[in-house]
């Protein structure tokens, strides 16, 4: 008879029924301990059981708070699996490393600056099982610290085969949102470690191309927008990510005018910031020729090119804050989905 190793026996005691186990992978890079603890604590507070938590520390080797972060996380729970890269390998490699340490039938990723409501995993597991899908996404609360507002981000409520619609734009959202079947993530190729941005979106596309998805029409996590270091603020990385997706799915982009219009339109503000008005204007003209009837969208993009990205973005942010208003600011009740 084959005997289980002591480590395997302990893992089974910790995680319970392997057929119900959900793996939570928290990746962190050069964050202060309090921020990482907020994310990990929200994973530990899930109403669904069993859950295993894997933390992958991908901080720089000389980051002075690495030991403090690890010590604080380990003090939260002795059952957390802590993976520490000797040197930073990038977000995609860190997520894939966490995936290799995951034992759950389903997996969810959590960025170190975001947090989950307690009922998130439970609500998504219910939907995943009832609709027999590979991925379940959800709404979120945005805490925009620079603007000083909180609001519920609205997104498309789509189910089933969503690939073509998803190619027009990432309505599934960021890494902290979806719950997925682990084997489907692996079969889809996991995270592409060559992607400089849009890593999550690229994976959602590959999953949606193979499998149906579903949606929980509730805000189940909190996305924190702050002044910290984000790949999403790197314009060159944004351009590289968007262009790589266009190249990966060239056949679909060329075949569908709506898809091509939306993919080009997405690049317009990036080109404006990186290369100036001339490049952005040529991209805008291509969009306008594809869909001349979309007068309002085309006019807004032209206005952005004329006044410049920074002035346009600043005006848009002020208008958005006014439109959100005091009534749009919500109080986060941590047991709302419990």
Over 60: is that where the pLDDT of 338 sits? no
Instruction: Give the pLDDT score at 281.
Output: 96
Q: Which domains does the chain have, with CATH numbers?
A: 6-231 (3.90.550.10), 232-328 (no CATH)
Model confidence at 6, in pLDDT bands (50, 70, 90)?
Answer: very low
Instruction: Give the pLDDT score at 162.
Output: 97
Nearest CA among 77, 80, 26 for reference residue 52: 80
Instruction: Give the pLDDT score at 321.
Output: 73
**pLDDT tens per residue across span 163-196:** 999 999 999 999 999 999 999 999 999 999 998 8
- Where are the alpha helices (H) located in 45-177, listed in sequence order? 66-76, 91-100, 120-131, 163-168
- Structure tokens, 157: 């409520």
Instruction: Give the pLDDT score at 160.
Output: 95
**pLDDT tens per residue across span 187-232:** 999 999 998 899 999 999 999 999 999 999 999 999 998 765 454 5
- Where are the alpha helices (H) located in the chain, listed in sequence order? 6-15, 33-44, 66-76, 91-100, 120-131, 163-168, 182-187, 199-210, 235-248, 250-255, 257-275, 277-290, 295-307, 309-328
Q: CA–CA distance from 5 to each of 2, 19, 278 (Å)?
A: 9, 20, 64
- How far is CA 313 from its chain centroid? 22
Q: Contact at 8 Å (CB) between 144 and 224?
A: no
Mean of per-residue pLDDT scores for the chain: 88
Q: Contact at 8 Å (CB) between 118 and 45?
A: yes
Instruction: Give the pLDDT score at 22.
Output: 97
Judged on CB neighbours under 10 Å (0-12, 13-18, 19+), 108 is buried
Radius of gyration of the chain (CA): 21
Residues with Cβ within 8 Å of residue 262, at least 6 apart in sequence: 167, 168, 169
Residues with Cβ within 8 Å of residue 208, at least 6 apart in sequence: 135, 161, 162, 163, 166
- What does the angle CA 78 – CA 84 – CA 85 come to, to the nearest 5 degrees? 170
Q: Contact at 8 Å (CB) between 272 and 304?
A: yes
- What does the angle CA 225 – CA 228 – CA 230 come to, to the nearest 5 degrees? 80
């Amino acid at each position: 008879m084959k005997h289980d190793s002591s480590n395997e026996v302990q893992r089974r005691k910790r995680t319970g029924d392997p057929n119900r186990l959900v793996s939570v992978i928290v990746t962190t890079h050069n964050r202060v301990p309090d921020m990482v603890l907020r994310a990990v604590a929200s994973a530990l507070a899930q109403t669904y059981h069993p859950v295993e938590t894997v933390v992958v520390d991908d901080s720089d080797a000389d980051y002075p708070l690495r030991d403090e972060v690890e010590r604080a996380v380990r003090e939260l729970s002795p059952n957390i699996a802590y993976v520490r890269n000797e040197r930073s390998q990038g977000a995609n490699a860190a997520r894939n490393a966490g995936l290799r340490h995951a034992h759950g039938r389903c997996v969810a990723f959590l960025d170190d600056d975001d947090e989950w409501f307690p009922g998130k995993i439970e609500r998504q597991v219910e939907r995943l099982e009832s609709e027999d899908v590979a991925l379940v996404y959800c709404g979120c609360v945005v805490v925009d610290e620079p603007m000083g507002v909180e609001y519920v981000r609205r997104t498309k409520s789509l189910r089933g085969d969503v690939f073509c619609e998803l190619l027009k734009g990432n309505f599934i959202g960021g890494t902290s949102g979806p719950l997925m079947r682990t084997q489907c993530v692996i079969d889809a190729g996991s995270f592409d470690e060559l992607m400089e941005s849009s890593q999550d979106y690229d994976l959602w596309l590959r999953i949606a191309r193979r499998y149906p998805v579903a949606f929980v029409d509730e805000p189940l996590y909190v996305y924190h927008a702050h002044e910290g270091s984000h790949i999403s603020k790197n314009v060159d990385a944004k351009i590289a990510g968007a262009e790589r997706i266009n190249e990966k799915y060239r056949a679909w982009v060329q075949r569908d005018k709506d898809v091509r219009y939306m993919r080009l339109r997405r690049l317009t503000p990036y080109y404006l910031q990186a290369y100036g008005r001339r490049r952005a204007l040529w991209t805008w003209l291509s969009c306008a020729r594809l869909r001349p009837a979309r007068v309002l969208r085309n006019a807004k993009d032209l206005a952005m090119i004329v006044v410049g990205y920074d002035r346009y973005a600043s005006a848009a942010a002020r208008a958005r804050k006014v439109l959100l208003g005091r009534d749009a600011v919500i109080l986060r009740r941590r047991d709302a989905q419990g």
